[in-house]
Amino acid sequence: MTNYSLRETAAVALSLLDLTNLKDDCTPAQIEALCARAQTPYGNTAAICIWPRFVAQARGILGTDHAVRIATVVNFPAGDMEIADVAAETREAIADGADEIDLVIPYHALLAGNERAVTEMVAAIRAECKEPVLLKTILETGEIKDVALIQRASELAIEAGADFIKTSTGKVAVNATLEAADIMLRAIRQSGRKVGFKPAGGIGSVADAALYLSLAETIMAPDWAMPSTFRFGASGLLDDILNVLGGGQSAKAASGY
């Protein structure tokens, strides 16, 4: 980012981080540890992102009105559930204390040419996410692949009421990329709406984070990235952030960036 030191970039990345554990074998003890890790000596992460079955536990640990928000995932990871089932999953998660819902769009349907499936799913879950609950939509850009289709998925999600558009589940071979980020950020700018962006999966260092923040600054505006407009979805990024804030160097950016 322009004129930002590595340490300053690390501090910004910390404030934007959705600290994630979506491992299939995640345990209650790991959720307890995640809640503790989200509260660092240098400040809190923006949120934790966890499976729906752990939301009530996390809410019990963090209490109400905690600075660390609780995000959870629905229609995850394949994006092929029925709308009614996803709506029910969303209602239960919100009742358990979720602040944010990360919804996988029906990207297989989109790949088959069915745009309406995306619009109907996002609109239905938007209706369940009453303010102040945020709706983040996961496009799974590494599976969509096509530039025009990533743009169209972004447009459909934004038009149907998404608060954020997110690259990936972290469960496929290709997750966040700068190319997908560029397309999605430009779609946000073109929409003229206040919609946030979340790159997720494969972002493991402050050096990685700096590339995405710089891109957002170039396409949107300096200082556009804040917790209400930008999140990183990552499980390993916090380690590098804390190393840098403690006076160390960042790991190199991942290959392919």
Dihedral (CA of 236, 239, 245, 248) sign: negative
Tell me which of 96, 99, 102, 163 is the catalytic residue. Answer: 102
Tell me which of 99, 163, 171, 198 is the catalytic residue. Answer: 198
Asked if 171 is an active-site residue, the reply is no
Tell me which of 166, 171, 208, 240 is the catalytic residue. Answer: 166
Asked if 166 is an active-site residue, the reply is yes
Residues assigned a catalytic role: 102, 166, 198
